[in-house]
Structure 1
């Protein structure tokens, strides 16, 4: 079977055009995605820089804790919460790790206590039972790290025994508050005093 030259050229040309078009489309989408990614990273970085600057001058935050960066990395923050007077945590310094994921602010930061604390909503690994950190549908990009820090400070001072991360401590808080407070004070003295 012989193929006529014009048909062969036509098929070859059609194949070449399809391949060229495919390559151009791929290049266009790669370029567009790369540009979008850079723009997103730039907006993310600007947002985090702004949040960082706001936290540094926020008097409410500075009365409850100190906040710093790990090195100069805007994605890794550290905070030290001051145990408030009148609580079993009084006088303690409680260190937190705050890591902003690559998709922040569309996902919440990963926050963990590095200092052991006896609390119904904080387990021995330092995980925190806080709705905005625990449930994706409770987090919104409108929240900032500042709001998370304030919520954690509030949770420290006012535990939620009805949604405990450590049920045994939650039950103790509800049923035998004096025992809870004595153990929490003991842990504060053992693990959180400067």
Structure 2
């Protein structure tokens, strides 16, 4: 069994024992019903007292064959509105970048908590999409309105 698979089985055990309240994460099932440990679907709740509070936001986490040496790719749905999310949905976050702050010791729990933090506290120095970044920097009314509209779309998000 590969180091990647061993680590992902361990991550799954840790997650099932201890994960933050309101979050969910599961490996996807393949056509034959087995689990694909390299692709996970997860939900990240917006933090209380933020514009994001009403929603639980879907992400797909794809672990490369070189994991944990290389970080997973984490994506919201395409078109997700946030200054640090590319139009494709890919999240721009230093702990997910092997040239920046990725370390093999970073766990799934730390990744999803980092993304939750990023939702409410965008990094203006790392823009990934022009419209959300510009609104965040220069037009808070528009930014807040768009975030609240997006939150409503994900109020009861879950997956099976």
Moved more, 67-76 or 115-124: 115-124
Match of 1:67 in 2: 25
* Matched residues, number: 151
Q: Conserved in 1, the CA contact under 8 Å of 2:71 and 2:98?
A: no
Q: Do residues 128 (structure 1) and 104 (structure 2) align? A: no
Question: Within 2, Cα distance between the matches of 1:93 and 1:116?
Answer: 16
Q: Which has the higher contact order (CA 8 A, sep 6+)?
A: 2
Q: Do residues 77 (structure 1) and 35 (structure 2) align? A: no
Match of 2:123 in 1: 160
Question: Within 2, Cα distance between the matches of 1:186 and 1:51?
Answer: 33
Deviation at 1:99, TM superposition (A): 1.0
Match of 1:187 in 2: 150
Choose the corresponding residue for 2:54, options 75, 88, 91: 91
Structure 1 gaps, min length 5: 1-37
Task: Give the TM-score of the pair, scaled to structure 2.
Answer: 0.83
Task: Give the TM-score of the pair, scaled to structure 1.
Answer: 0.69
Q: Conserved in 2, the CA contact under 8 Å of 1:89 and 1:188?
A: yes
Deviation at 1:104, TM superposition (A): 0.5
Structure 2 gaps, min length 5: 30-34
Question: Within 1, Cα distance between the matches of 2:66 and 2:37?
Answer: 13
Q: Conserved in 2, the CA contact under 8 Å of 1:116 and 1:187?
A: no
Write out per-residue CA displacement over residues 16-68 of structure 1, whole angstroms, 9 at most, x where no aligned residue: xxxxxxxxxxxxxxxxxxxxxx6xx1x33222111111112224x2x241111
CA RMSD between the two structures: 2.0
- Closer, same or farther: CA 53–105 of 1 in aligned 2, 3 Å: same
Match of 1:24 in 2: none
Question: Within 1, Cα distance between the matches of 2:79 and 2:17?
Answer: 28
Moved more, 104-113 or 80-89: 80-89
Structure having the higher helix fraction is 1
